[in-house]
Amino acid sequence: MTTTSDLGVVTTKVPARLDRLPWSRFHWRIVIGLGTVWILDGLEVTIVGAVAARMTEPGSGINLTSADIGTAAAIYVAGACVGALLFGRLTDRYGRKKLFMLTLGIYILATVATAFAHDAWFLYLARFVTGMGIGGEYAAINSAIDELIPARNRGQTDLAINGSYWIGAALGSLVAVLLLNENLLSADLGWRLAFGLGGLLGLGVMLVRRHVPESPRWLFIHGKEAEAERIVDRIEAEVRRETQRELPEPGEAVTVRQRDVIPFREIAGVAVRRYPRRAVLGLALFVGQAFLYNAIVFDLGTLLNGFFDIGSGSVPYFLALFAIANFLGPLLLGRLFDTVGRKPMIAGTYFGSAVVAAVLAVLLVSGSLTAWGFFLLVSLTFFVASAGASSAYLTVSEVFPMETRALSISLFFAIGTAVGGITGPLLFGHLIHSGDADLVAIGFLVGAAAMALGGLAEVFFGVRAEQQSLENIARPLTAEEADAAWRDEPAPQDARDRSRPERDRRAADEREQRIADRTARRRERERTGARRYRPGTGSGSRMYSPGMAGTAGTASRTSAMAEQRLDDEVEQITQALQESGATSRDQLEHAVSGRSWGPGRFRRALRESEREARIKGVGKSSYAPADGRGRSGSGPDDPHEQQ
């Protein structure tokens, strides 16, 4: 039930109803329909890099130089900045679904138009509009994903979706190998089909996306409570049919004060007046990574072709390996951002990539680099930089107040990318066109300097945000309004606590203690010994894609709710085994509906239950209550188990 007062205050259980839903086909539709934009972006950027060398060759059907390729890349990034700012505001004003359908349509039309480019000016125009579509996609879909995926699954879903960028990059490189093979396609046709492929993939995504509903959260905040309730009713009915189970009761209602779109000038004001050091930090990190990434990613193909005589048909192989190196960076280094800490890891990755880029520049001047030597150093630079670049988005999502978080990312993205992401491709494109290796080396030194400045900003202004609640890192703006209200009223929570039965209060206290102990043990395991260096993404790291407008730090933002959900799942496993006795893993998963918890959640809860000695393994892939109080505790060969 949702109510709205005349003062624009909305009280609703819609968020709680969405967050308590089990994982279902509906959520997979969200992931496929909205999350595949990362693959599109990876495909788009990599295809341009892969076919760029072909577009500068005679017989390609378009008269371009390597400088023109750099200019086209800069224009694409400028379009992404404009699209993020423009469509970001429209997304908040007109709704998520209208905009993520519109921006995908713009992307499809513009990328197909690129395939018909016959001159540089037409290519520039098509690339700018394509960039607008991609930039707008980020603004629309990130909001929708955050608002439709259950809180307990939001962090890992967000991480997986972001990482899919490099899947698209690798696919784009490999597909380009076929499209640039002149034995199959003529020189003036293959690169055009490469762009057409992006449009075809976009059409497939649009067919799935048609079935994604408007965000109920956006609807009730904008005065459309009845429609929000109807959408949630339909989702719940679908999930009930799929799981054939009744849904648990939703949590408490929330009260939200309606508000118009927060202007960018207000966000800038909050950053400058309240957090000036953090504003400098965010800009330094964004400018550094945007310059280095956009300069090299868009121009790597022409670099390999122009200076190391790598044929345009072979360039995609190198770009596929380059994409893998970028994917492995956050995967292998990401956990260290939570265990070793934000400041040492962010500063270390920025300084590390700067050092490798500087070494590459020196060797380039000396003329001692072979094609493979150059490529390995570039890949090493971006293996480190990829993890560092992730931290720019992660940092901005953590260090500013909740109400400004998503738009803060868009604002810093637009400014940082406009400064670094546009100048980088422009500069490198002209340096490559000069044919002078010394000048190209200067470009790498400039990129190294930009990353080093980001590292220095982290040393002096960085925030130790690891393992901390976001509300402790940056106080929410609306908390001040709440404080004012509390001065005039008695503490309602205390009154509610006094009115609750003693048994309920005791159970709640025990639950909080279990969660606190579990969290403390896990953090201790992650911070000590060799485990702190274990490969993995970690809870606070995030995959990076060039031009990514980013998402809010959803994994950290919902950590408290995720811990409560994990406690519920551990309790369900424990109780199920106490009722049934020794049970196989598959039967236990079926008994507690573990598959509906979401990808990987049953496995995690089972492992946590064993670690806490709530259950024990017996035989092969079978479990029993650790205290032996189950109805049958004799193991998998118990007669009752075989009935």
Q: The sheet that has 9-12: what strands, in order across it? A: 3-4, 9-12, 254-257
Q: What is the dihedral of CA 429, 430, 434, 438, to 10 degrees?
A: -80
Token couple for 598: 């979401």
**Nearest C-alpha neighbor of 199 from the set 135, 126, 95, 96:** 126
| pLDDT (tens digit per residue) in 55-96 | 888 878 888 887 887 788 788 888 988 887 888 778 777 887
pLDDT of 125 reads 93
* Contact in structure between 580 and 227 (CB atoms under 8 Å): no
Q: Taking Cα atoms as reference points, which of 207, 191, 220, 193 lies closest to residue 48? A: 191
Q: What is the pLDDT of residue 481?
A: 46
Q: How many CA atoms lie within 13 A of 119 on its CB side?
A: 2
Rg of the chain in Å (alpha carbons): 26
> In degrees rounded to 5, what are phi and psi of residue 454?
-65, -40
Q: Which pLDDT value is given to residue 489?
A: 45
pTM listed for this prediction: 0.65
- The predicted pLDDT at position 456 comes to 92
Q: Which domains does the chain have, with CATH numbers?
A: 7-246 (1.20.1250.20), 261-474 (1.20.1250.20), 561-625 (1.10.10.10)
Ranges in the chain, pLDDT < 50: 4-7, 470-471, 478-497, 499, 535-558, 630-643
pLDDT of residue 531: 55
Helices (H), ranges, 14-116: 14-19, 25-35, 37-55, 66-94, 96-114
Q: What pLDDT does 274 receive?
A: 79
pLDDT, position 406 = 57
